[in-house]
């Protein structure tokens, strides 16, 4: 292998190796920093959602309490407690009251759970609700997620129930607001993070039920295993979610919203935007490739003339030796003890000043240059020697008469 090729390969290998280690270290450090930051932001967003959810629930409970304490509601409860009362008189009251209290859902039930008035389904009056009568302390309970039956579909709401007692009779008031992606708009989401809401209205995973504050979520199918796991066992946990088109996975915190019987009704997922960590890794990799390509190009531009200069010097020396009648050509690395350096370095600075700094650097720490340098020099000299037909070892030559006296290489003082 030629010196030029070796020099180029060594330079390219050194650049690629150094950049590879550097890119790996930077990517690992940056990934750790991003993961720690995202973990902190996920915890902050999760706590923020809990507060907003409780605040919305408190508003619903307050609205229901206000309805229960209203004078019109008390008159309704007294009237319905009579044996000869007519519940149909109040069939339209729920709609007007719901509008005044800014509620999406509102229903009044009699003492036995029979529906008297409904804001969301007026035609359902007379339907008997069993679960509303099973609780005796509704007035002390907070709002809760629940499925709400509508004429054409099932919706999800954040409901509260309050009771008005008249003697032994009770009037139940159940109402609340729709639980959907509008709730996410109250959460301040930083750049690179996202908060998703899944409304669990079906037995199996439904991609269209996963939304963010702006609408349908991106790549909802990747959350299928997370929702399935929550449907089996609703509990707050962390999940790794793969992203289509990028390597690695994103870490999401899942917060289940359960109903009165601990069934999963909705889930909030807090995590990074798709591929945020992967994009950072790709950016680092591309930057390393770009720097590496520039370094390799520079190495080629630099190594080529240097290698040509080194090889060219030996080429000229071998050619001159051949033209002068030399029969052999050889070379080896210098062995420069400190005593020899005191004579050799001044000689270089005087006769070959361009080489002096390089030789001082080579022999700064040792009088030897090492095995690798010796092998490379032997291979280079051998290749040039073969090109000019010179022998590897000295051939005995005894001229009858010396034409000139041999000159001194160094002046010894």
CATH of the domain at 255: 3.30.450
Q: What is the rounded distance in angstroms from the CA atom of residue 80 to the CA atom of residue 163?
A: 13
CATH of the domain at 97: 3.30.450.20
pLDDT tens string 69-97: 999 999 999 999 998 899 999 999 999 99
**Predicted pLDDT at 102:** 95
**Predicted pLDDT at 191:** 81
* pLDDT over 60 (residue 299): no
* Structural domain contains residue 308: no
Same domain flag for 107 and 94: yes
* pLDDT over 70 (residue 190): yes
Higher pLDDT, 141 or 38: 141
**Predicted pLDDT at 1:** 53
- Lowest mean pLDDT, pick from 94-108, 189-203, 227-241, 294-308: 294-308
Same domain flag for 268 and 188: yes
- Full residue range of the structural domain in which residue 75 is found: 70-178
Q: What is the rounded distance in angstroms from the CA atom of residue 228 to the CA atom of residue 103?
A: 31
Give kind and range of the element (H or E) at residue 37.
Answer: helix 3-69
Entry pTM: 0.62
pLDDT tens string 116-126: 999 999 999 99
Same domain flag for 195 and 250: yes
Same domain flag for 228 and 158: no
* Structural domain contains residue 337: no
Is-contact 192 276, C-beta < 8 A? yes
Q: What is the rounded distance in angstroms from the CA atom of residue 251 to the CA atom of residue 241?
A: 6
**Predicted pLDDT at 336:** 84
Same domain flag for 98 and 162: yes
Looking at the 3D structure of the chain, how many domains does it have? Answer: 2
pLDDT tens string 342-370: 888 898 889 888 888 888 888 888 887 77
Give kind and range of the element (H or E) at residue 344.
Answer: helix 338-351
Q: Of 255, 279, 303, which marks where a domain is finished?
A: 279
* Structural domain contains residue 260: yes
Same domain flag for 161 and 148: yes
Same domain flag for 267 and 202: yes
**Predicted pLDDT at 146:** 96
Same domain flag for 85 and 163: yes
Is-contact 80 87, C-beta < 8 A? yes
């Amino acid at each position: 292998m030629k010196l030029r090729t070796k020099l180029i390969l060594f330079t390219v290998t050194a650049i690629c190796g150094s950049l590879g280690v550097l890119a790996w270290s930077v990517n690992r450090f940056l990934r750790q920093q991003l993961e720690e930051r995202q973990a902190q932001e996920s915890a902050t967003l999760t706590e923020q959602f809990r507060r907003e959810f409780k605040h919305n629930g408190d508003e619903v409970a307050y609205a229901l309490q206000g309805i229960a304490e209203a004078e019109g509601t008390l008159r309704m409860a007294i009237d319905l407690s009579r044996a000869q009362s007519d519940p149909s008189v109040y069939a339209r009251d729920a709609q007007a009251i719901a509008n005044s209290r800014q509620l999406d859902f509102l229903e009044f039930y009699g003492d036995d759970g029979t529906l008297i008035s409904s804001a969301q389904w007026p035609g359902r009056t007379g339907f008997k609700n069993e679960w509303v009568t099973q609780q005796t302390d509704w007035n002390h309970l907070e709002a809760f997620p629940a499925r709400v039956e509508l004429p054409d579909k099932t919706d999800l709401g954040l409901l509260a129930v309050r009771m008005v007692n008249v003697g032994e009779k009770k009037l139940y008031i159940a109402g609340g607001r729709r639980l959907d992606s509008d709730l996410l708009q109250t959460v301040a989401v930083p750049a690179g993070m996202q908060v998703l809401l899944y409304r669990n209205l079906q037995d199996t995973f439904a991609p269209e039920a996963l939304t963010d504050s702006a609408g349908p979520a991106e790549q909802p199918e990747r959350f299928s295993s997370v929702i399935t796991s929550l449907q089996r066992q609703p509990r707050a946990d962390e999940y790794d979610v793969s992203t289509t088109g990028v390597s690695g996975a994103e870490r999401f915190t899942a917060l289940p919203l359960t109903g009165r019987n601990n069934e999963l009704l909705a889930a909030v997922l807090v995590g990074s935007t798709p591929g945020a960590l992967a994009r950072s890794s790709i950016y680092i990799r591309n930057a390393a490739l770009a720097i590496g390509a520039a370094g390799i190009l520079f190495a080629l531009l630099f190594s080529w003339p240097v290698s040509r200069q080194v090889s060219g010097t030996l080429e000229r020396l071998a050619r001159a030796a051949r033209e002068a009648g030399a029969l052999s050509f050889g070379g080896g690395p210098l062995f420069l003890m400190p005593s020899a350096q005191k004579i050799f370095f001044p000689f270089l600075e005087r006769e070959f000043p361009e080489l002096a700094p390089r030789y001082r650097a080579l022999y700064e720490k040792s009088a030897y240059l090492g095995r690798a340098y010796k092998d490379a020099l032997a291979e280079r000299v051998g290749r040039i020697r073969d090109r000019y037909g010179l022998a590897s070892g000295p051939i005995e030559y005894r001229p009858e008469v010396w034409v000139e006296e041999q000159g001194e290489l160094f002046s010894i003082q």
